[in-house]
Amino acid sequence: MANNVLITGASGYLGGSFLAAWAQSNVQNYQTLYALVRSDDQADKVKTLYGAEPVRSEITEESIRKLVLEKQINVVFYLIDAYFAKRQVAFIKALEELKKTTGQEVHFVHTSGAKMVSDMAGVKMDGPLYDNRDDIYEIHKSQKPKHWELEEAVRTNCTVVDAGEKHNIRTYLFFPCIVYGKGAGFGNVISIQTVDTVIAAQGAGGVYRPGRPGKTWPVCHIEDNTSLYISLAKAILNGSNPDCGKHGVYLASSGSVGWDDIYSAMAKALAKRGVIKDATVKYATDDALQAMANALNVQKPSVAVKIGGQCNFTAVHGKDLGWQPKYAPAHILEALDDEVALILENLSKKHRGIR
């Protein structure tokens, strides 16, 4: 049976970039690439720009089942919600049904995020945490996040893996980190944590560090993030059985940089454009935190989740798929001036809140 692939979040930053790269990446061994869209304009774009087949569908349990079975979709890339387990299990159940009918192997790739394996999510900070560790799922399952949204998101990751085992389908957890660079898709072209840093600075009138100095976080250029999705897709489609389930964890990152360096570069870029008065990075007082929270449309404790924290997650697993990032971690610091300009051009209300 031929493989049929569904990419969700096709109008998003990560999903749009993935879809745009697909056509140029010589992906083989599939019949149809479907893209989930929500409007006629999006449908038109995915078809004319990328040759993908648009699908409009509610994402209720019954319509997901219908979509997967009617189109015989056996590979799903889920890029629309890293936090909540609202629809992933419905996809997994539908994939199981397809597998029973056709005998074909089925795959579900859930997009999570590096925040879910940070200090704020209850991971012990005792050295690098490699994404190919044998006990990575057990570590994840035993985490006790300090923030409700991370508790929810860690539970979602475990739900995906557990449901994959229960329903006998291959699942993968894909972890983006601080992704930067202009998205290559037709929809949203800006990221999340860099965008949140700008929104917080606009709200507070300056760049404020939420917490102690010296914290670091993995980073990844959007092209490298996309090429890991492509490498995973190729490995799935050519039947090379990439690690999955409890061992199917893949971080897209070339390495880490200091938040303090990110804050400084962004403060400079924002001050240069007159968005804030001066480029000094200050410790966030309670008032500044409240102003940042208001601007970000979250509660005060969630500000640190959005633009701070320590994450020791380290990418090695992608190398098994032949993935090699092009951009060294320090590249982000050179790129942040352009990143700020891009964000200021494209920022809208939809970029605020838990995403």
What DSSP character marks residue 107?
A: E
CB of 46 to ligand NAP, least distance (A): 11
User: Taking Cα atoms as reference points, which of 112, 211, 107 lies closest to residue 152?
Assistant: 112
CB of 115 to ligand NAP, least distance (A): 7
The first and second tokens of residue 235, run together, are 């490995």
Contact positions vs ligand NAP (CB under 6 A):
9-15, 36, 38, 59, 79-82, 111, 113, 176, 179, 187-188, 191-192, 355
Task: Return the number of the residue (88 or 231) whose C-beta is nearest ligand NAP.
Answer: 88
Distance CA 353, CA 342 (A): 19
CB of 111 to ligand NAP, least distance (A): 4
Task: Return the number of the residue (291 or 339) whose C-beta is nearest ligand NAP.
Answer: 339
CB of 6 to ligand NAP, least distance (A): 12
Degrees to nearest 5, angle at CA 185 with 245 and 132: 25
Task: Return the number of the residue (147 or 206) whose C-beta is nearest ligand NAP.
Answer: 147
CB of 339 to ligand NAP, least distance (A): 12
Distance CA 317, CA 91 (A): 25
Task: Return the number of the residue (38 or 99) whose C-beta is nearest ligand NAP.
Answer: 38
Task: Return the number of the residue (175 or 208) whose C-beta is nearest ligand NAP.
Answer: 175
Task: Return the number of the residue (82 or 321) whose C-beta is nearest ligand NAP.
Answer: 82
Distance CA 12, CA 145 (A): 27
User: Taking Cα atoms as reference points, which of 80, 100, 271 lies closest to residue 169?
Assistant: 100
CB of 83 to ligand NAP, least distance (A): 7
Task: Return the number of the residue (9 or 329) whose C-beta is nearest ligand NAP.
Answer: 9
Residue with tokens 């409009």: 56
Phi, psi of 260 (to 5 degrees): -60, -35
- H-run or E-run covering 19: helix 13-22
User: Taking Cα atoms as reference points, which of 264, 260, 281, 300 lies closest to residue 205?
Assistant: 281
Task: Return the number of the residue (56 or 166) whose C-beta is nearest ligand NAP.
Answer: 56
Long-range contacts of 226-229 (CB under 8 A, 24+ apart): 226/14, 226/17, 226/18, 226/20, 226/21, 226/184, 227/21, 227/323, 227/325, 227/326, 228/174, 228/252, 228/318, 228/321, 228/323, 228/325, 229/14, 229/18, 229/21, 229/77, 229/109, 229/174
Residue nearest to ligand NAP (CB): 12
CB of 355 to ligand NAP, least distance (A): 5
On whether the CB atoms of residues 34 and 47 are closer than 8 A, the answer is no
CB of 2 to ligand NAP, least distance (A): 25
CB of 155 to ligand NAP, least distance (A): 15
The answer to whether the Cα torsion of 345, 346, 348, 353 is positive or negative is negative
Task: Return the number of the residue (225 or 231) whose C-beta is nearest ligand NAP.
Answer: 225
User: Rounded to a whole number, what is the distance in angstroms from the first to the last CA of the chain?
Assistant: 36
- H-run or E-run covering 5: strand 4-7
CB of 101 to ligand NAP, least distance (A): 25
Task: Return the number of the residue (110 or 209) whose C-beta is nearest ligand NAP.
Answer: 110
